[in-house]
Amino acid sequence: MHIVTCLAHDHNMLLVLLAGLVCIFGSLVTVRLSHRAIHARGSAWLHWLFLASVCAGFSIWATHFIAMLGYRPGVSVNFDPTLTIVSALIAIAGTALGLIFAKLHSSKFATLCGGAMIGLAISAMHYVGMFAYRPDGIVSWRPGYVAGSVVGAIMLSSMALLRLRGKDRDTPGRAWDATLLLVGAILLLHFTGMAAFEVTPIEGFSSGSDSQVFTAMAAAIAVAALIIVGTGISTHLVEEGRMETQQRLRQIAMHDMLTGLSNRHNFVTQLARECAALHGTAQPFALLLIDLDRFKAVNDTRGHPVGDLLLKGVAMRLRKAARSNDLIARFGGDEFAILARDVGDDESVERFAAKIVDVLSAPFELNGYIVEIGASVGVTLAPGDSDDAELLIQHADLALYRAKHEGRGRVCVFSPTLTQTMLERCALEIELRQALASDSFTLLYQPIYDARTRRVTGAEALLRWNSPTLGEVPPDIFIPIAEELGLITAIGESVLERACTAAVTWPEDLSVSVNVSPVQIMGGRFVRSVANALARSGLAAHRLKIEITENSLLCENDIVLHTLQELRALGLGVWLDDFGKGYSSLSYLHRFPIDRIKIDRSFIARLPEDPSSASIVRAICQLGESLGIEVAAEGVENLAQVAFVAGHGCTHMQGFLLSDPLEPCTARQIFWAQNQAPTGASYYGIGINTQSP
Ligand code: C2E
Ligand code: MG
Ligand code: MG
């Protein structure tokens, strides 16, 4: 009660108001600077501590001093300059101590202690300041008010610091609650302290004081206080701007600009964090690597803007398919990754991966184009497969590689055997490159027979690779790898050269056929390399035959058609190998210039017992006859097969029964021997046993 009377009767309200404003503004800035001091990392906190303490100390002191200048005790007053300055230093030092204590000990109790120190500093500043206040009269104190003021200041300051500590590290918000508590602490202390203070005038004694000078001093102090506090706030604002920029840069550094998903760097960092947490309470998780199928084709044919739209569309579908706590990233190009948390059992992970394949396989509508792609997914589980981020990525990569190899649009879950497969594959790749560099491939020649005359009409060149460490590696294994590594063009050119050089030494009525990969046909320089091989060897073009598979015809029809027409124009024959094994569309036979069909050996192997193989072979023979295309049977292994294919119209035959693939010199000898033998002599069985069946 006495507080209100003291405030109303003994004070100049204008100066009280000014003191209040300085207190509010100063507290607001103090709270923000203190927040930075408590939460700053590294040595920056010392900078913020200095600013916060100076700002706090000066605000407390200025509030007190301005209010004191507004106090009218009814007698003349003087100030002790030394104690006045000391009181300001106490406020600064006390606030600094409180903040240091709270910064160094993060517990709630320590924060309350730090706040109590600040409360004590406010109190000490006030009462030391009061000793500097020299009224011309007898000063007496009301102890209850003194005690109450100190306890109140300590409690409110402690609560203010506690509220401040609870604020988010990066966003303190306005921190109004902490500010109000601090304002409360300063004003409560001051005005309760003033209610404790009483001056009894001494009759006839006055040293004289000038109230106008007091008002001017109050205004000057207020301006000085505002300048100091303003400096604090401007530093704070500059720093805030810097932090915002940093935050934006961090955002850019962590995200893929096109899709807005995480980038690889951020994903790997989070993955490592998740792995480290596995030893604590964290749940198991799954890592999925996703590779889009046919993305390159879309990018090449529809242009990059459509490619970009497609990637954005993929990102959107992945976001929809994943759960909110999953992390999705674009690793670059058309590769994406998902860190799936709380995944449950292995089956549910596989279901999730299959769902990803499904959602990405649905058509996209982009700029009016309907685009269809697919996706392959490699999955690994942590901690089951590994608890190391780098190993997990390697495992998922391996599984993805396998998924793509198994025919795309698939999910493959990592298993330890995949690692072994991969090691073998790496060894194979290295050796294959070395084999090409040292030209250590060889060619064998398997004779092809005329089914009617039973004479050799030519031979198929078959590539052999005897690796120094892996032994004899079948072409079915190494050719697809050479295609993938981009080595097939160089290997194919060497095969062409060798085959032409060998065939030129054979009797002139014999031809040589060479297997050609789709990659070679599409490569753009195939016709030139054929022409070079013919020119260098001197082989007549009509003696060279090219064996292509249906896969070649599937690629880009026009390029293939053009290439085949050019080969035809040179005089070469074009044969369709392994017919029936692939897509076997009859339209190929109309559209492309094909001279001979080679029925795939899997059908011949089931002859003559298997009725469906028998009817397929019969149908192909009839088709060939009606289109005027020769039909060869490959993989003939017994006499029953010979009888069947010859009886149903196959024009040519090839197989182990008739001859193994032969070394070049053996082939040459046999071919010349046939050339000198009388017409009608059969050469069946050459290369296996010399007796004709
Ligand atoms: P292909 O063109 O169908 O070659 C015929 C394959 O059948 C050869 O296997 C041959 O040894 C085998 N063969 C011959 N007679 C019989 C038989 O009676 N029974 C059975 N079961 N098989 C028989 P090879 O030499 O292992 O070649 C496999 C495939 O590798 C070839 O199939 C061809 O697609 C590819 N290839 C071989 N050499 C080359 C080449 O120089 N370039 C390219 N691009 N591919 C090649
Ligand atoms: Mg072939
Ligand atoms: Mg074949």
Alpha-carbon distance of 650 to 121, in angstroms, equals: 109
Lowest mean pLDDT among 312-316, 468-472, 611-615: 468-472
Share above pLDDT 70 across residues of the chain, in percent, rounded to a whole number = 92
Distances (CA, A) of 500 to 448, 460, 537: 16, 12, 6
| Most confident range, picked from 147-156, 398-407, 421-430 | 147-156
Alpha-carbon distance of 516 to 495, in angstroms, equals: 9
- The residue whose C-alpha atom lies closest to atom 34 belonging to ligand 1 is 515
State yes or no: cis peptide before 518, omega within 30 of 0. no
Distances (CA, A) of 299 to 333, 338, 488, 497: 11, 23, 25, 36
Nearest to 254 by CA among 325, 328, 312, 334: 328
Quote the CATH superfamily of domain 264-415: Reverse transcriptase/Diguanylate cyclase domain (3.30.70.270)
Average pLDDT, the chain: 86
Alpha-carbon distance of 24 to 146, in angstroms, equals: 23
Phi then psi for 641, rounded to 5 degrees?
Answer: -70, -40
**Which ligand is the nearest neighbour of the Cα of 599?**
3
Interval 331-340 mean pLDDT: 93
pLDDT on residue 691: 38
- The residue whose C-alpha atom lies closest to atom 16 belonging to ligand 1 is 635
Distance of CA 105 to the CA centre of its chain: 39
Span from the CA of 598 to the centroid of ligand 3 (angstroms)? 7
The structure tokens listed for 210 are 């000038």
Whether ligand 1 lies within 6 angstroms of the CB of 313 is answered as: no
Q: Which residue has the tokens 């490959």?
A: 634
Alpha-carbon distance of 403 to 194, in angstroms, equals: 82
Positive or negative: CA dihedral 8, 10, 15, 18:
negative
pLDDT on residue 338: 97
pLDDT on residue 379: 95
255 DSSP assignment: B
**Which ligand is the nearest neighbour of the Cα of 462?**
1
Residue 598 has pLDDT above 60, yes or no: yes
Phi then psi for 226, rounded to 5 degrees?
Answer: -65, -35
| Dihedral, 579, 580, 582, 587 alpha carbons, nearest 10 | 80
In single-letter form, the type of residue at position 420 comes to Q
Looking at 40-107, list the stretches that DSSP marks H as alpha helix, in order from N- to C-terminal side. Answer: 44-69, 81-104
Looking at 510-593, list the stretches that DSSP marks H as alpha helix, in order from N- to C-terminal side. Answer: 518-522, 526-537, 550-554, 557-570, 586-591
pLDDT digits over 117-171, tens only?
999 999 999 999 888 888 878 888 888 999 999 999 999 999 988 888 776 655 5
Spell out the domain ranges in the chain: 2-203+211-246, 264-415, 426-674
- Whole-prediction pTM: 0.56
Whether ligand 1 lies within 6 angstroms of the CB of 10 is answered as: no
pLDDT on residue 693: 37
In single-letter form, the type of residue at position 216 comes to A
State yes or no: cis peptide before 475, omega within 30 of 0. no
Distances (CA, A) of 365 to 55, 371, 692: 61, 6, 65
Do residues 339 and 285 make contact, with C-beta atoms less than 8 angstroms apart? Answer: yes
Question: Sorting pLDDT into bands at 50, 70 and 90, what band is 1?
Answer: low
Question: Sorting pLDDT into bands at 50, 70 and 90, what band is 422?
Answer: confident
Whether ligand 1 lies within 6 angstroms of the CB of 635 is answered as: yes
Residue 213 has pLDDT above 90, yes or no: no
pLDDT on residue 409: 85
Alpha-carbon distance of 537 to 524, in angstroms, equals: 22
User: For residue 520, which atom of ligand 1 is closest to its CA?
Assistant: 44
* CB burial of residue 678 (10 Å; 0-12, 13-18, 19+): exposed
Q: What are 395-403's contacts with CB under 8 Å, separation 24+? A: 395/287, 395/419, 396/287, 396/288, 396/289, 396/337, 397/289, 398/422, 399/289, 400/289, 400/290, 400/291, 400/376, 402/378, 403/376, 403/377, 403/378
pLDDT digits over 55-80, tens only?
888 889 888 888 888 887 777 777 78
The structure tokens listed for 214 are 């007091």
368 DSSP assignment: T
Whether ligand 1 lies within 6 angstroms of the CB of 512 is answered as: no
Do residues 147 and 186 make contact, with C-beta atoms less than 8 angstroms apart? Answer: no
Whether ligand 1 lies within 6 angstroms of the CB of 600 is answered as: no
Q: Which residue has the higher pLDDT, 2 or 283?
A: 283
Span from the CA of 601 to the centroid of ligand 1 (angstroms)? 10
- The residue whose C-alpha atom lies closest to atom 12 belonging to ligand 1 is 635
pLDDT on residue 426: 81
Quote the CATH superfamily of domain 426-674: EAL domain (3.20.20.450)
